[in-house]
């Protein structure tokens, strides 16, 4: 993996972690139940948007893992005649 790609993956992972932390914070605030309806709806909308973003990132990661696994299946690991 090139240094540029490694840096992009690292930055993406860090952003994912920040977004996940933010989503957890939103959930905690909503579960406390002491927000106004307006504040609750605003946080709920933010949570939905974050959840969709995180879901898309996980789907792309899953696709990449599947690609890598498919590549590995084609690579011989040694003699199987032994």
The pLDDT of residue 4 is 78
Report the alpha-carbon distance of residue 59 to residue 41 in Å, rounded: 27
Confidence of residue 76 (pLDDT cuts 50, 70, 90): low
The pLDDT of residue 65 is 87
Structure confidence by residue, pLDDT tens digits, 33-48: 999 999 999 999 999 9
Confidence of residue 1 (pLDDT cuts 50, 70, 90): low
- Residue 27 clears pLDDT 90, i.e. is over it: yes
Confidence of residue 32 (pLDDT cuts 50, 70, 90): very high
Report the alpha-carbon distance of residue 71 to residue 30 in Å, rounded: 44
Higher pLDDT, 13 or 9: 13
């Amino acid at each position: 993996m090139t240094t540029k790609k490694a840096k992009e993956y690292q930055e993406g992972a860090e952003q994912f972690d920040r977004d996940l932390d933010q989503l957890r914070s939103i959930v905690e605030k909503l579960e406390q139940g002491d927000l106004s309806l307006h504040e609750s709806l605003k946080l709920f909308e933010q949570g939905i948007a974050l959840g969709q973003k995180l879901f898309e990132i996980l789907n792309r990661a899953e696709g990449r893992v599947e690609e890598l696994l498919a590549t590995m299946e084609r690579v011989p690991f040694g003699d199987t005649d032994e």
